[in-house]
Amino acid sequence: MDDDEAELRNPFPSPPSHYTKYTSHNLKLLSLLRERVPDPSESNQFEVLADQTDVPDWPLTQLEKPRVDWILEEPDAYYDVFGDRWFVRCVALCGTRSTTSDAQSTQVKEKIPSLAELGGNQLYPVDPGTDRRPALLSILRSLLVTYSSLMSSLLAPPPSAGSNSPPEWHRHVEWITVLSQNIMAAANDLRPMQVLLLMSMAFVNSQARGNLEHMMRRQLELRKSETQALHSKCDTLEARLAELQKSMQDLSARGSPTSKDASQIPQAKKTIPSAVTQQDVLRWAEDIG
């Protein structure tokens, strides 16, 4: 019995000995037993499963999952795991003992016992709705003062040999233990609220990240559309410039006189206006573009 208790309180306990019963064959037999009889606990499994092989000599109903609703019917619902007792409370409509599905649908929530319920000296308010910050600040100040007093008592001379009173440091250590237990218990009470706060912060961060991603995608799309518009405008200008350059070349080819025609032109009419250069055409194209 002592070995069992020590194994239960082991931080890394071994699996229970009956875990070997949960084989695929035994679970299949249990499922078949449920299909053939409405209440397997009141039937003879050897007669029902006579056509099957390797039927165990222990009841197959031992492989059933624990009935949580049976625990919740107690005034102070609790269960023991590895030597520690955990209290639970029902947060939904509890099931009945009629079917196993009711037990599976039952929702429970673990209740962390308070320091007073565990037999400790609780120095902060029991009601979680009460502001505990003033009490926790007082506990912290008392812890610092007691620690300073403990250092002073350790430097004091030892008591006389005939003194039966306990040393002063012993009282300080006990009080530090009580104060530390209160701080740890108050911190454990805040764990569920911290989880909710972290979940809400994670949700807000995910929303902010999604909004930022959407905004960046929108900016990228706008820049792509602006770049595409610039490219199309440049292509249009290049096409117009190519047309103007070709028109200028054709005009130059048609307007330049040959040497024979030039000899027949009178000297007074040889003053031809200066031709339009390519730079003038490009400048004009930039002005109208």
**In the sheet that 108-111 helps form, which strands lie side by side, from edge to edge?**
78-81, 84-90, 108-111
pLDDT exceeds cutoff 50 at 269? no
DSSP character for 51? T
Could you tell me the sign of the dihedral formed by the alpha carbons of 143, 147, 152, 157, in that order?
Answer: positive
pLDDT tens per residue, range 216-229? 888 999 999 999 98
CB–CB of 88/111 below 8 Å? yes
> What pLDDT score was predicted for residue 46?
85
More confident call, 273 vs 185: 185
Q: In this structure, are residues 124 and 135 in contact, taking their beta carbons and an 8 Å threshold?
A: yes
- The string of pLDDT tens digits covering residues 198-217 is 788 888 888 888 888 888 88
At residue 94, what is the residue type?
C
Six-digit token pair at 104? 């599976």
Contact 181, 115 (CB under 8 A): yes
- What average pLDDT does the structure give for the chain? 77
Question: Any residues with CB less than 8 A from the CB of 186 and at least 6 apart, and which?
Answer: 124, 132, 136
Residue pointed to by tokens 């003038």: 280
How many residues appear in the chain?
Answer: 289
d(CA 132, CA 186): 9
Looking at the chain, list the stretches that DSSP marks H as alpha helix, in order from N- to C-terminal side.
Answer: 2-8, 24-36, 45-48, 68-72, 100-105, 133-155, 168-189, 191-255, 259-264, 278-288
Residue 283 pLDDT more than 80? no
Burial label for 111, CB within 10 Å (0-12, 13-18, 19+), is: middle
Give 202 or 276, the one with higher predicted confidence: 202
The CA distances from residue 129 to 110, 118, 126, 183, in Å, are 19, 20, 9, 17
**pLDDT over 90 for what percent of the chain?**
10
| pTM confidence score | 0.40
Residues 6+ apart with CB under 8 A from 169: 150, 153, 154
76 pLDDT band, cuts 50/70/90, is confident
pLDDT above 60 for 268: no
Residue 101 has pLDDT above 50, yes or no: no
End-to-end CA distance of the chain: 100
Q: What is the DSSP string of 138-149?
A: HHHHHHHHHHHH
pLDDT for the residue 1: 52
pLDDT attached to residue 96: 38
Q: Greater confidence, 67 or 100?
A: 67
pLDDT at 148: 92
Is pLDDT above 50 for 95? Answer: no
pLDDT grade for 109, boundaries at 50, 70 and 90: low
Dihedral of CA 15/16/20/23: which sign?
Answer: negative
Q: Per residue in 11-56, pLDDT tens?
A: 677 777 778 888 999 899 888 888 888 887 778 888 888 888 888 8
pLDDT of 91 higher than 70: no
Instruction: Check residue 82 and give its pLDDT.
Output: 66
pLDDT, tens digit, 9 for 90 and up, residues 146-196? 999 999 988 888 777 777 778 888 899 999 999 999 998 888 887 777 777
User: Which stretch of 198-207, 236-245, 255-264 has the lowest confidence by average pLDDT?
Assistant: 255-264
pLDDT band at 270, cuts 50/70/90?
Answer: very low
Region class of 82: left (phi > 0), else alpha (psi between -120 and 50), else beta = left
Confidence of residue 9 (pLDDT cuts 50, 70, 90): low
**What mean pLDDT comes out for the span 73-99?**
60
